[in-house]
């Protein structure tokens, strides 16, 4: 299955380190960061899950929460959590899904056979409260992900949902944004009272509206 932006994510039931869940119910009215890691007791994954735990406060600010998955059994997850907490200096405060039969990983296209047929690659799905895929990306097992980019991506999605703007290259929360080209100058005058800089007819920048 190939999930694309705008698709409703498949529902599933699974055992996790925080009990059995039904995925759509677990999402609730929040944004979800659903990410796969190749294997328990591996070095890069240990650092990634530790970083995710440390960012819980940042996810909370964005009405978001994280959930991880690998094809390892639940008992391995529970044992490995001790290593994460010892080496990364934080409690693992989000669920890890056990997917020994690969059903969920295959449902979400997380196993890339030409990379490794036995484990998941480092996939991330950003899912909104309507259970829609808003963004996704995949890294190979050898490269750890940048979870600051996940936060930046959520910031952009939530901002552009609320206002008729887009975010430029390397944008960070608080910086100028771009007025969407579909708005006329007259409409932009009414909506963006802080003014805007018209660089080209299609390229107009304005201070971030909610700042």
Ordered DSSP codes for 3-63:
--TTPBPPP-EEEETTEEEEHHHHHTTSEEEEEE-S-SS-HHHHHHHHHHHHTHHHHHHTT
Which residue in the list 3, 33, 45, 119 is annotated as catalytic?
45
Tokens at 158, concatenated = 């939530």
Q: Give catalytic status of residue 90 as yes or no.
A: no
Nearest Cα neighbor of 115 from 136, 141, 146 is: 141
Tokens at 77, concatenated = 């997850």
Instruction: Give the residue numbers marked as catalytic.
Output: 45
């Amino acid at each position: 299955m190939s999930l694309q932006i705008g698709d409703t994510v498949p529902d599933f039931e699974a055992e996790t380190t925080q009990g059995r869940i039904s995925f759509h119910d677990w999402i609730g009215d929040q944004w979800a960061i659903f990410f796969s890691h190749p294997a328990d007791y591996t070095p890069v994954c240990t650092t990634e899950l530790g970083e995710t735990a440390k960012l819980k406060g940042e996810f909370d600010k964005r009405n978001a929460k994280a959930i991880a998955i690998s094809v390892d059994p639940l008992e391995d997850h529970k044992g490995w959590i001790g290593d994460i907490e010892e080496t990364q200096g934080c409690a693992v405060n989000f669920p890890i899904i056990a997917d020994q039969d690969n059903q969920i990983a295959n449902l979400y296209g997380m196993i890339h056979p030409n990379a490794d047929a036995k484990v998941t690659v480092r996939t991330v799905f950003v899912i909104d409260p309507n259970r829609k895929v808003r963004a996704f990306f995949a890294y190979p097992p050898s490269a750890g992900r940048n979870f600051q980019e996940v936060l930046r991506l959520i910031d952009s999605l939530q901002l552009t949902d609320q206002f008729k703007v887009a975010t430029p290259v390397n944008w960070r929360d608080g910086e100028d944004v771009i007025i969407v080209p579909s708005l006329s100058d007259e409409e932009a005058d009414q909506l963006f009272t802080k003014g805007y800089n018209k660089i080209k007819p299609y390229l107009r920048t304005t201070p971030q509206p909610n700042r």
